[in-house]
Amino acid sequence: MDTAELTMRLVTWLKEKVAEAGAKGVVFGLSGGIDSAVVAGLAKRAFPDMAMGVIMPCHSLSEDAEHARLVAERFKLPVQEVVLDATYDALVGALKVANLGEPKVLALANIKPRLRMTTLYYIAAQNNYLVLGSTNKSEWTIGYFTKHADSGVDLLPIVGLVKEQVRELARYLGVPQVIIEKPPSAGLWEGQTDENEMGLTYSELDRFILNGEGSPEVVARVRAMRARSEHKRRFPQIPSF
């Protein structure tokens, strides 16, 4: 399938799913990364007047918000900014007062995307919109997303595309080059990158997903990460009796 046809099919799918839900449009986070930029480009094509991007700094790098605004300008998207620094601080403070033990880095980091998802659902309810997520197939396969945050959405338009396919789509849609070229990062803490945290490159991961190929170390790591994160790709389990 060529990129133009893929874009058309994804745009059509978005329109159909929003119509099925009786909603008017879509809302999504603008992180300044390539995945959210691609979702923004698709959303604008599907809903020229009913697509909203939301920038949600939470002790984030200033560059992320700058790149998010760059995407909004490129696609002529209406954008809202909701600063979550104080909200995060208040919750972390309450957790510390509760004396729940020394906070782990990842436990603290995961608060941020969950606050963002809460914000998106507030805006969605205000406007009768659906919430779009930006998780891609590479991340979905190994569980590299925050449960009930990145995955706590209504629609995942690019979850069928590995990272390199997302890059191809980004070039076709006209995502700013600086965003296409920068190292992918969830922005959870300063200096954090996806590949360092995953322990493998997107190229290695995509090759295994698409072709089942890779070094023994890569294959073993991907399989282990996929098995360990299976619960993140399922609805809550319920008794069968």
In 3D, which of 94, 35, 101, 93 has the Cα closest to residue 68? 35
pLDDT tier, 150 (very low <50, low <70, confident <90, very high otherwise): very high
Residues in the chain: 241
Mean pLDDT (whole number) for 29-57: 97
Mean pLDDT (whole number) for 132-155: 96
Averaged pLDDT of the chain: 94
Confidence (pTM) = 0.94
Protein fold of 3-233: Rossmann fold (3.40.50)
Q: Specify the pLDDT at position 97.
A: 93
What are the tokens at 83? 């600063």
Say if residue 140's pLDDT is above 90.
yes
Q: Specify the pLDDT at position 241.
A: 87
206 bridge partner residues: none
Q: Specify the pLDDT at position 240.
A: 86
Q: Specify the pLDDT at position 59.
A: 94
Residue ranges per structural domain of the chain: 3-233
**pLDDT tens digits for range 166-192:** 999 999 999 999 999 988 776 666 667
Q: Which residue has the higher pLDDT, 25 or 189?
A: 25
Q: Specify the pLDDT at position 187.
A: 64
Query: How many alpha carbons fall within 13 Å on the CB side of residue 22?
Result: 1
- C-beta of residue 60 within 8 angstroms of C-beta of residue 187: yes
Q: Specify the pLDDT at position 193.
A: 79
Q: Can you tell me whether residue 51 is helix, strand or coil?
A: strand
> How far apart, in whole angstroms, are the C-alpha atoms of residue 138 and residue 218?
13
Mean pLDDT (whole number) for 8-13: 98
Q: Specify the pLDDT at position 196.
A: 84
